[in-house]
Chains A and B, each alone.
With several copies, the nearest count.
Chain A
């Protein structure tokens, strides 16, 4: 029986990053994967959706070429080429992980992994051959899949999940997107740009409901201007797929409405992959669909760990990676600091983009802070004017007493690359003053951060 220092089950951004860091730290490592290296993120999540959204952005430029002094005779999309490009990008990334595994001398065990007692993992390959491996430490990183609602069963044809939504053979004329989290609005953004008639149905009062209310409201206005229909405080009661289209019964505050579309995309969250992986046999505790772990990702059974989507905390790729790195650094005996879950950026790569970190205004107030709020709209930014990207704003929230940067919320072009400043600033426990006196280059979108802080302290220049 082959013996490893560490076996990681699942090769998503949790698993494969964990394996690389473990190998760097001198461990002998194997990673078990039943599908494609890179997990949801590289194959069905972060990466392929961003490729689609890039095509959407470029298509948007084609359609507005004259705004920039340019002429286009006939702009069109080749839907299947757009999808194919996305698949190629994903494949390339997955191959990249393969290369990284080799380079770091990590064994890839292809097959379905199941935990056994005594820190063993049984791997069943595609020919149903079972092999058992032993390790000092077993790390569970089996991730998650699309959640199915009982009244919205996915048939993979007319009612689909995210995988199908990024590989449709034909562009639908109309689409109902159920759920307006990051995944839902990103697909809405993509299909709207492609020319599909999109309707978003959201149960809560605001779309992108985890964001600051001002972001949600402004985002909703912009989406509506683009022609996306938005139904908030609404839920899909049932779908009828018997006809040519799908018919959806939607319960709204005003009563029931009937919608029809080519396709319904269910984007109502995720379901963790915790079934049939041996948790019960080993005795590993779960709670509300998640594997229970402590600050260092140790489960209740010594030698077994869990990281990524399969545990509590936001289901994000960068969180999965950070958890995995911390987990193995702790195993290696390094002095580590637990992750501050209050300082994790969240991004939505729609058009315009959303990025945020820390508390929303409402959360800060509810937490009892006396706050200073500042806001700077891109409509007042020189760079935004030059770029034709005046939608959105940066909003900052500070504790009035000590000046702590409680939250930062951004809506606009390129903000997903701008939020890092706020995350680092908060990590370093800055106050508003230092941000204000940090000379931001002109002309950039990032100046809006400095100006928003200035606004919080009544020193804003360009408003």
Chain B
């Protein structure tokens, strides 16, 4: 699962959208210390998964 910690909610959403940990790692994170938030992952999905 890579070296990054993902919140349980982000993990659930990623699972649902079949987003791998490699892909998750590319999503820009807006939380402190690079924490990836629900809003980040949904922004990414809405933008058509550009990375």
Contact = CB atoms under 8 A, between A and B. Distances in A.
A and B touch in the complex (CB under 8 A): yes
A434 to B, nearest CB: 5
A341 interface: no
Nearest to B31: A337
Contact of A404 (B9, B30, B32, B35): B9
A304 B8 CA distance: 34
Contacts of A70: none
A269 to B, nearest CB: 32
Interface stretch (A44-52, A212-220, A287-295, A423-431): A423-431
B16 A430 contact: no
A404 B13 CA distance: 10
A154 to B, nearest CB: 44
**Which of B10, B16, B31, B38: most chain A Cβ within 10 A?**
B31
Nearest to B11: A431
**Which of A335, A429, A433: most chain B Cβ within 10 A?**
A429
B43 interface: no
Contacts, number: 39
Interface residues of A, number: 13
A434 B32 contact: yes
B47 interface: no
Contacts of A437: 32
B44 to A, nearest CB: 15
B30 A431 contact: no
A68 interface: no
A433 B33 contact: yes
B20 interface: no
Nearest to A434: B8
A401 interface: yes
Nearest to A402: B12
B7 A430 contact: yes
Given A337-B32, A403-B33, A428 B7 contact: yes
A434 B38 CA distance: 15
B50 to A, nearest CB: 22
B30 A403 contact: no
B37 A433 contact: no
Contacts of A433: 8, 32-33
Contact of A429 (B7, B16, B32): B7
B9 A403 contact: yes
Interface in B5-43: 5, 7-10, 12-13, 16, 30-33, 35, 37-38
Interface in A414-444: 428-431, 433-434, 437
B8 A428 contact: yes
A58 to B, nearest CB: 41
B28 to A, nearest CB: 14
A404 B7 CA distance: 11
Nearest to B5: A429
A363 B30 CA distance: 26
A429 B10 contact: yes
B6 to A, nearest CB: 9
A306 to B, nearest CB: 25
Given A428-B8, A431-B32, A434-B32, 4 more contacts: A430-B8, A430-B9, A431-B9, A434-B8
Interface of A: 335, 337, 401-404, 428-431, 433-434, 437
30 contacts: A335-B32, A337-B30, A401-B16, A402-B9, A402-B13, A402-B16, A403-B9, A403-B12, A403-B33, A404-B38, A428-B7, A428-B8, A429-B5, A429-B7, A429-B8, A429-B9, A429-B10, A429-B37, A429-B38, A430-B7, A430-B8, A431-B9, A431-B12, A431-B32, A431-B33, A433-B8, A433-B32, A433-B33, A434-B8, A434-B32
Q: Which 3 A-B pairs have the closest CB atoms?
A: A429-B7, A429-B9, A431-B8
